[in-house]
Amino acid sequence: MFDGILLGQYVSGNSFLYILNPVNKILFCFTFMVLIVCCQSIFWTVNLGFIVLLLFFSAKLPFLAVLKGMKTILFFLIITFIMHIFFTSQGQVIFQYSKIIITLEGLLNALLIFFRIFFIIMINSILTLTTQPTEIAWGFQKLLYPFKIFKFPVDEFALMLSLALRFIPVLFQELGKIIDAQKSRGAEFDSPSFIKKILSFPPILIPMFINSFFRAEEIAMAMEARCYSNSQNRTHFTKIHTGFEDLFFVIFYTFITLVYLYLYYFKSYDLSVF
Amino acid sequence: MNAVTFNNVEHIYNEKSPFEIKSLNGVDLQIKKGEIFFICGNTGSGKSTLIKLINRLLIAKTGSIKVLEFDMNTIKKPFELRKKVGMIFQYPDNQIFETRVKKELIYGPEKFGMSKREALVKIKESCVLAGLDYEGFKNRNPFELSGGEKRKVAICSILAYDPEIIIFDEPTAGLDNSSILSLKKMFFKLKEKGKTIIAVSHNIDFISECCDKICLLSGGKVIFSGDFVDTMMRFTNKELEVFGVEKPFIYRLLEKIKFKDKDDFKEKIKNIENLFNV
């Protein structure tokens, strides 16, 4: 059921994105996501997205497999698209039938939201496809380190994050097994009846939650048995280095951010329609 | 008559993605009705894929699969097929969701259209077969049972809708000796009833005492399929290790003894069995 879904998964490779420092990649993702969310014009959103896609292809990441994984959220994308088209009544009317009005603004808004979500997923895919979950957790730990001054439990937060990320594929596998077990006992998950669909959820969700709780308890006990503690400064088996590639990458996305901010805010290149 | 027929079956996981794995490659297999058929092989050899294909939890990429009267290439809805092919998974925790054992047992039969009264009769029969005290367990919470008890509940929940083919994935995993013994007895009772049993296992003692035929899988291919004695005659202990099984002691002993033919081999086994009162 979850064959080939790559969202949130690491794929081994050897392109330049793989050797970058995770902190650097997290900062890039954060910067580009903020830019895309703040951008109110389709033209600039697509421009930023184009740069993301360039990075995606230059790192030889599996674009089609990521698109295949997006099928699961396509439903929500379509719903938001339709809602924006039909519930925006202001602006130039381009289609009218009885009480149904489609305006140019509504259409552009729908497109803008669609592109925003699409490119945000692509940005996150760059991070997750090229960085192992433990490296992502390490990156967050380093980024949050200054908050230790305010007694923020950085190490505990990093541990929680790395455990959560580590178990995403495991939980997906478990979900597949549960669905198989219930299907073989006559459960129908692809029934056209809405009520049957709703009733088919408990046999999946209950074992899923109970197995997750048991697994969490087992992990806690395994860690306790090995005297895990965050009270001392922990060292890492593998050291992650920062190289020249990181410097070039920082210059690359800082330059793009500055150019974007200059053109979009100071020069007001807000092409009102696009 | 064949219960299951595989013809040149190929299966690929995660096709056209970086995680693509060819799990089965040109598998040909015949399982006769009423047989106890064991599938052996190391991790990743394709055992689980093969049994999932029988229940149409997976769909083959190429080749043809026939299970009872159902042709997998033309079947539209596998509901009727699953009614006749029961599958008991390795981990019963993946199927248990009700708050009472009774409710858990009735879920499958009700889904397959049995009336409550009919289902209860069948559940009681299946509990006797699997050695589960129905009256003592019916109101207990299945999540509070031990591993072996959960497995018995899982077995009963499948036997309750009376499938013609029963598939077991690692039936002896996590069971103590007495539970394995009652499982063995259950296998023979099911065989007497004319059921076809297909099982994946690494427990060679269990296999040697129950099985009619064995199939050895490696790298997604069927390397050998035949009766147990034939298999033990054909392969040395070292060769069998590739399939994740070890020859029983008696066969290892016989490896050291020269014999003329198959009948001579069988006779010598009988003599040794008599000697040790096996």
Tens-place pLDDT, residues B15-50: 877 778 899 999 999 999 999 999 998 888 999 999
Could A3 and B15 be called an inter-chain contact, meaning their C-beta atoms sit closer than 8 Å? yes
Question: Residue A82 pLDDT more than 50?
Answer: yes
Cα dihedral B188, B190, B191, B193 sign: positive
The complex's ipTM works out to 0.80
The whole-number average pLDDT for the span A162-169 is 82
How many percent of chain A have pLDDT more than 70? 93
- The predicted structure's pLDDT at residue A274: 45
The residues near A176 (Cβ < 8 Å, ≥ 6 apart) are A1, A2
pLDDT recorded at residue A269: 54
Is residue B24 within 8 Å of B51, Cβ to Cβ?
no
**SS (HEC) of B226-241:** EEHHHHHHHCCHHHHH
Spatial separation of the C-alpha atoms in residues A238 and A258, rounded to whole Å: 34
How many contacts, defined by CB atoms under 8 Å, are there between A and B? 75
Q: How confident is the model at residue A94 (pLDDT cuts 50, 70, 90)?
A: confident
State which residue of chain A sits closest to B163, comparing Cα positions: A185
- What Cα–Cα distance (Å) separates residue A84 from each residue in A33, A35, A201, B43? 21, 21, 30, 51
Those residues whose C-beta lies under 8 Å from the C-beta of residue A251, and which sit 6 or more positions away, are none
CB contact under 8 A, A186 and B57: no
Query: How is residue B223 annotated by DSSP?
Result: E
CA-based nearest distance B88→chain A, Å: 8
Structure confidence at residue B30 (pLDDT): 93
Whole-number percent of chain B with pLDDT over 70? 99
- Average model confidence (pLDDT) across chain A: 84
- Placement of tokens 């092919």 in the chain: B85
Q: Is the pTM of this model over 0.95?
A: no
Quick: pLDDT tens for B136-169.
Answer: 999 999 989 988 889 999 999 999 999 999 999 9
Phi and psi, residue B143, nearest 5°: -75, -15
- Rounded Cα distance between B148 and B130, Å, is 11
Per-residue confidence (pLDDT) for residue B264, from 0 to 100: 82
Look up residue A89 and give its DSSP letter. -
Sheet strands (E) in chain B: 2-13, 21-32, 36-41, 62-67, 70-71, 85-88, 165-169, 196-200, 213-218, 221-227
Reported as half-sphere exposure (CB side, CA atoms, 13 A), residue B141 has a value of 3
Q: Which residues on chain A are in Cβ contact (under 8 Å) with B60?
A: none
| Tens-place pLDDT, residues A117-126 | 989 989 998 8
Instruction: Supply the mean pLDDT for chain B.
Output: 88
With CA atoms as reference, the chain B residue closest to A202 would be B97
Contact B83 A186 (CB under 8 A): yes
For B155-211, give the DSSP string.
HHHHHTT--SEEEEESTTTT--HHHHHHHHHHHHHHHHTT-EEEEE---HHHHHHH-
**Longest C-alpha distance within chain B, in Å?**
60
Assign A271 a pLDDT band (cuts: 50, 70, 90): very low
Phi, psi of A243 (to 5 degrees): -115, -170
As a whole number of angstroms, the distance between CA B5 and CA B67 comes to 7
Please give the pLDDT value at position B278.
55
Find the chain B residues whose C-beta atoms sit closer than 8 A to any C-beta of A. 13-19, 52, 55, 57, 79, 82-83, 85-87, 89, 91, 93-97, 107-108, 111-112, 143, 157-158, 161
Report how far apart the first and last C-alpha atoms of chain A are (Å, whole number): 39
Give mean pLDDT, residues A133-158: 87
Do the Cβ atoms of B97 and A207 come within 8 Å?
A: yes
A11 touches chain B (CB under 8 A): yes
What whole-number distance in Å separates Cα of residue A110 and Cα of residue A87? 10
Shortest distance between the Cα of B166 and any Cα of chain A, in A, equals: 11
Amino acid at B158: I
At residue A98, the pLDDT reads: 78
B70-71 β-sheet, strand order: B21-32, B2-13, B62-67, B70-71
Q: Is the pLDDT of residue A267 over 70?
A: no
Cα angle B48, B25, B86; round to 5? 30
| Best residue in B14, B16, B17, B146 for a mutation probing chain A (most A CBs within 10 Å) | B17
Does pLDDT of B9 surpass 90? yes
pLDDT at residue A272 in the model: 46
Does residue B14 surpass a pLDDT of 90? no
Q: Going by C-beta distance under 8 Å and a sequence separation of 6 or more, which residues neighbour residue B238?
A: none
Tell me if chain B has a CB within 8 Å of the CB of A186.
yes
